[in-house]
Structure 1
């Protein structure tokens, strides 16, 4: 007797003539994290899912203007974990990490670039722009879907947001110490 086994298909649910795919895990986690962050007075910054479905790490970044405390992370972590565990949509044990994005925080969205206009940053692009793919300098402004960036070697460069592969703030300790005085 021969059996047919389907592996890797996403379950489909029928509602009349329409079909609906199950909501992806990442999207569900984002929705849960956004609600947990907002209800606890912090901003949801970003989430990452690392590893495999059998050994998953869910990393959530939160922030607030005066900085995130350990208590903020703990409270948001418990709120997220409670919903994930109640909904039981992650098929195996997982590790949940909730933290601040840090001093040299990653920049994930146009909104992040707008928020940190005037700050030093490092940007890596998916392809070369004016013969260069790594930029180190200062965020000048955001115009539509382009980041105007003052690069140390190239001067002013316009970087389309869809070409940004990775970006993060760079902390200048001498500037920070001058602010404290």
Structure 2
């Protein structure tokens, strides 16, 4: 397991009791490098949406626990936020909740010279995702070729 995956796993373990206490959902945890900074991000949600006050409350609790446990060796910026409009689908519950909704899919390897697809999420299983691109076309995509799948949104 990579170091960043271990950081994410341990952070998730710290967050789960907080999520249960507040009746929030932990959508994702990521430890990433952007430019010269590293970020530890927790994405949280609840029915009706997350507020800034919700994020602040969780951030304060998590920050205290992170200081106490001190398992991340390098400097990082802690962020707690909503997953946003274009939330990625990562866990099985994300796929189940998004059935029938419009999604955007980005693939690692092109399929017929195309790496990005959009459509209605019809089905999924451990190996494939099926989207309905239009009335007559369903596209079955291999999950191991999916770099990102997220809810589509328009402004």
The normalised TM-score by structure 2 is: 0.83
Task: Tell me which residue corresponds to 2:12.
Answer: 30
User: Which residue of structure 2 lines up, in the alignment, with residue 87 of structure 1?
Assistant: 69
Q: Flag as ranges the 4+ runs of structure 1 deviating above 3 A.
A: 128-132
Q: Which has the higher contact order (CA 8 A, sep 6+)?
A: 2
Contact (CA 8 Å) 2:7, 2:31: kept in 1 or not? Answer: no
Deviation at 1:68, TM superposition (A): 0.7
Give unpaired runs (5+ residues) of structure 1.
1-22, 174-181
Could you state the TM-score of these two structures normalised by the residue count of structure 1? 0.72
CA deviations 1:87-141 (Å, max 9, x no partner) are: 1122344211100011111222333122111111110112234553211111112
Aligned to 1:147: 129
User: How many residues align structurally?
Assistant: 151
Q: Distance in 1 between matches of 2:103 and 2:64?
A: 36
Partner of 2:46 in structure 1?
A: 64
Residues 172/119 of structure 1: CA separation in 2 closer, same or farther (3 Å cut): farther
User: What value does the CA root-mean-square deviation take over the aligned residues?
Assistant: 2.6
The yes-or-no answer on 1:42 pairing with 2:24 is: yes
Please name the residue that 1:99 is paired with.
Answer: 81
- Contiguous gaps of at least 5 residues in structure 2: none
